[in-house]
Chain A
């Protein structure tokens, strides 16, 4: 099985899902489930290779010029994730067969889930950061589609949008960090980047890279304060919550942190930021889980809390911590996956997920209750289940920080860890005991509860049995899975030995405290919840999110309304004001009033007179109130300009100007006769003032510019060349004509084309008008 086939096969299968629907009477889920099973077995076969420290590498050229190739790489870490993705994927697909009836839109469901599976495998197998990013965002999109699967529900839409916005934004920040890494190392290839890890850690960009990178990881793995999307994501069908939002997608952030530990971790910045965010998330989410009434919300906060635990461990980045993180990752997938399935069964069979309405289900659903019991005990960290083993190791990691972090952390982290574990213990007990052994209140339920069909409970039983098996015999996975994965993170071969009994030591003491205090807390939970209700602050993160989602478009509206008045005048005022202001401002700031070296030509009295005439004509256009007078004044301006052309030794211009001016005037007369007369304008004085200010500003700007241009000439104009060569090369004496016809013939050609286009435009407009008139006459 080549790695690229593994990644692309789910996408290929997705294309055929609609056909399956059409041609198969069987539930599509059965057909779809073959693929994850096959892939899982395929990945299983890699274990011996990976155990020997071998890796698999496979590359397809994509955009070599940018250093972007579809490169897949398999080591212990990737293998662990790939097995979780395909293994849990298989069980979830089987489970979904019983969970989703034939009425649901199964085609979409399985297309999305296959898309997700492929994307997620792409994330954990990619060796190229850009390819990884593409798959990364694809997981966000498929998650969005799956959360919004029941899109007629407003909560689904809200949850889907929230998840998408937060995770995609985080992804984009991560892309920025990838590109920065490229700037520093010149490569997108993870192997090559690891080889130049020192370059990254010593670069000026390190902090920026780290923060942008962690933004991506934290948003995906729901770390505080970006965790707010995960509880809302529980609107997805339960198989999806079990798969994406507990076992796989939310662990993509964890994967990224683990993957990058060889080139980003180990610095004080990494250690403190990651471990503090992680431990805070763990405690905070555990605390929040206690207050929830929706079973899935409890599990969501529980997931956030457990992810916080793993993040903390990756922050420590000691060998012990890495082993523990990898081990717990595996354990969490098994017990949390089964718990989600249990909640799905309860929801399916009773019609509610509200913990307040549930109780005493153990008698009605014994199998489900057993699964729930084992899962909850594993989560709470009770021996001999696997959760106990990894929790013990976690405690051990927190008490062995001496010399790695500052002194205060040696008491801070163990205390917080115990606190978090107490919350975990309490909510695990609540989840299990209240639902299955609490006071029965079946009258509040819509359905009469009974045991679920085998299709629903079997996957849960199998998953939870891993908790028992690996809890009792951790040796089964020590060397085959945990050690290769941890070695890949640490960059050196780590030998792992997990045992139940470490002697009477601090971690054991901590476990005893957890169980003791946790039991007390569970018994007094009602009182504690009252206290919590009082402590909850008014301003929640969710409210900030909702507010900003509202505020962005509102700001947009305000900005838009300000400028987009729809009035032409306002637009022109804006443009002219902006241009003259920025030019005047530049002049003042630069303070380069170079009028020196003004090279002025002589002035004659008739020129002054002409200037006066020109200005008078312009003023006439401004002040005359009849069309004819205004047009005549405009004519005066035009003819004065052509006279100036004569004075300025430009006879050709004068000639052209005269002709054009005459025709233009005729046109003006023709057109204006059709238009209403000039009325005295009614204007507000404020509008008038603005107009005057802008006009004066434009005038002043132009005046200054012309004078400055006169004093600042650096270069002999290329015109000299034309003067020297005009006659010799083109044989013409009129230099302007020579330029236009010989040297710049293209210009003239273009000019004619412009005129043709203009004439055509005029014709088209008139024709439109005439046709309309003839239509209305008919």
Chain B
């Protein structure tokens, strides 16, 4: 039954609408936390609902959606990340008087959008998913009241995003004009049969597509919105943007480029190689200067987009596996990091790196976990980030791109600079001997930190199972 494939999305949409209804009955002054827990139950339900679709593979809905290993893997990841975002949001929403019903419902819509994106077999379905995710993200970014940064962030994000959507749409219509189809497999067939791949029109369509996607994944030179938006958005939403929006875009790119535009590999892989190096370098260099931790992580996430793009530059099955594993490790690492930042912000310690002074004595768990997450982001064993980087490293050298691998290595070394700065601040022994105010670990955020921390280490120490899963994804290759 083809609907099996769509049950998780349906569950989430229904839960989202249910949350709205529940919120309408909410009494004045009543806490909205239970809405968040309801949402988590819904997400868990969706995770279970993925079960019937295991093993189903092929296109459904007349080739609009596809079910395969790639879809399955990332749908599951999206839901898990969704649960983590919900967990870290509950106290934050409460503290900042964010309308809970709308907030959680929009988050669920955003996740559904991401799930449609990763499952789309047709550029139109992808576009719908993209817009769903984008609109939800815009609104969520502007959810902080009395915060000018948030307001400005959403405006910049929206206008840049709308332009990017238009650019993608334009690219889609050019491909349609050339091949007469919007199906990703159809594109592949058309290019195999007759379309001249070196045609400048094809190149132009490619440029449009890459530019639009470049915005979504915050690759240089389309990254400019990222820092302002990440800084201004509510912190759990920053986590959401850096993982869900970015991850879903990467997955769609995998399918479009590796499957649909396979015949044009020579063209796009070279372009990705150049973009990757520029992106990681600019991201890392800019991050060195940041005093606000969210801004720093915004640039770090730009740099990571650069690393992930190495998989496209390699354009091999190894590259695909590497990207998948990297995205998995990166998603969990970032979730953990942002959970701690949310905890800090809930405790009123702000977002400036200076505010992390002496964290090791205020909450040793958070401080040490942050070290683990930073190690993972730099790519130092025994963390998942190391294996992710190693897989990409291996893929790029395997594709004769030794220079790209070295650029990655140098960039990793540069990135030590700013992560180390935060660690130094956290473990700084202040001169005054008085015992600092303890920062208690709260249940929800503690849970996120434990889960992600454990997973990041598992991905680094016992990775076999997940590497196997990631390499399954490469089955989408023709």
Interface, chain A (partner B; CB < 8 A)? 62-66, 130, 134, 137-138, 141, 152, 161, 164-165, 168-169, 172-173, 175-176, 179-180, 182-183, 205, 208, 552-553, 555-557, 559-560, 563-564, 566, 568, 570-572, 574-576, 578-579, 582-583, 586-587, 590-592, 594, 701, 705, 708-710, 712-719, 743-747, 750-751, 753-754, 756-758, 760-761, 763-765, 767-768, 771-772
- By a CB distance below 8 angstroms, the chain B residues around A591 are 200
- By a CB distance below 8 angstroms, the chain B residues around A138 are 381
- By a CB distance below 8 angstroms, the chain B residues around A757 are 106, 109-110, 113, 132, 135-136, 139
7 nearest CB pairs, A to B = A556-B285, A761-B139, A717-B180, A750-B128, A172-B409, A764-B102, A709-B177
Q: Which of B123-143 contact A (CB under 8 A)?
A: 124-125, 128-129, 131-132, 135-136, 138-139, 142-143
- By a CB distance below 8 angstroms, the chain A residues around B177 are 709-710, 712-713
- By a CB distance below 8 angstroms, the chain A residues around B409 are 169, 172-173, 175-176
Complex alpha-carbon distance, A701 and B155, angstroms = 27
Contact A746 B393 (CB under 8 A): no
- By a CB distance below 8 angstroms, the chain B residues around A152 are 429
Complex alpha-carbon distance, A161 and B128, angstroms = 49
Interface, chain B (partner A; CB < 8 A)? 13, 17, 20, 61-62, 64-65, 99, 102-103, 105-106, 109-110, 112-113, 116, 124-125, 128-129, 131-132, 135-136, 138-139, 142-143, 145-146, 155-156, 159-160, 163-164, 167, 174, 177-181, 183, 186, 190, 193-196, 198-201, 203-204, 207-208, 211, 215, 221-222, 224-225, 227-228, 282, 284-289, 380-382, 386, 390-391, 393-394, 397-398, 402, 405-406, 409-410, 412-414, 416-417, 420, 429, 463-464, 467-468, 471
Contact A750 B190 (CB under 8 A): no
Complex alpha-carbon distance, A63 and B470, angstroms = 13
Complex alpha-carbon distance, A261 and B373, angstroms = 38
The residue of chain A having its C-beta at the shortest distance from the C-beta of B155 within the complex is: A568
Complex partner residue of A715 from B129, B179, B386, CB under 8 angstroms: B179
Complex partner residue of A717 from B138, B181, B391, CB under 8 angstroms: B181
Complex alpha-carbon distance, A361 and B392, angstroms = 58
Complex alpha-carbon distance, A559 and B282, angstroms = 7
Complex alpha-carbon distance, A165 and B414, angstroms = 9
Using A575-B222, A592-B200, A750-B132 as known contacts, say yes or no to A764 and B109 having CB atoms under 8 A apart. no
* Chain A min CB distance to B295 (Å): 10
Contact A714 B195 (CB under 8 A): yes
Contact A756 B146 (CB under 8 A): no
* Chain B min CB distance to A276 (Å): 24
* Chain B min CB distance to A548 (Å): 11
Contact A586 B200 (CB under 8 A): yes
Complex alpha-carbon distance, A62 and B20, angstroms = 48
The B interface, classified by DSSP as helix, strand, loop or mixed, is helix
- By a CB distance below 8 angstroms, the chain B residues around A765 are 139, 142
- By a CB distance below 8 angstroms, the chain B residues around A719 are 180
Contact A65 B132 (CB under 8 A): no
* Chain B min CB distance to A299 (Å): 28
- By a CB distance below 8 angstroms, the chain B residues around A579 are 167, 207-208, 211
The residue of chain A having its C-beta at the shortest distance from the C-beta of B179 within the complex is: A715
Contact B288 A553 (CB under 8 A): yes
* Chain B min CB distance to A78 (Å): 21
- By a CB distance below 8 angstroms, the chain A residues around B174 are 705, 709
* Chain A min CB distance to B19 (Å): 10
Contact A754 B132 (CB under 8 A): yes
Contact A564 B286 (CB under 8 A): yes
Given contacts A65-B468, A172-B410, A552-B414, 13 further A-B contacts (CB under 8 A): A134-B382, A169-B410, A205-B402, A556-B284, A590-B198, A590-B203, A594-B199, A715-B180, A743-B62, A746-B62, A746-B64, A753-B109, A764-B106
Contact A761 B390 (CB under 8 A): no
- By a CB distance below 8 angstroms, the chain B residues around A555 are 285
The residue of chain A having its C-beta at the shortest distance from the C-beta of B228 within the complex is: A566
Most buried by B among A172, A592, A717: A172
Contact B61 A754 (CB under 8 A): no
- By a CB distance below 8 angstroms, the chain B residues around A559 are 282, 285-286
- By a CB distance below 8 angstroms, the chain A residues around B193 are 714-715
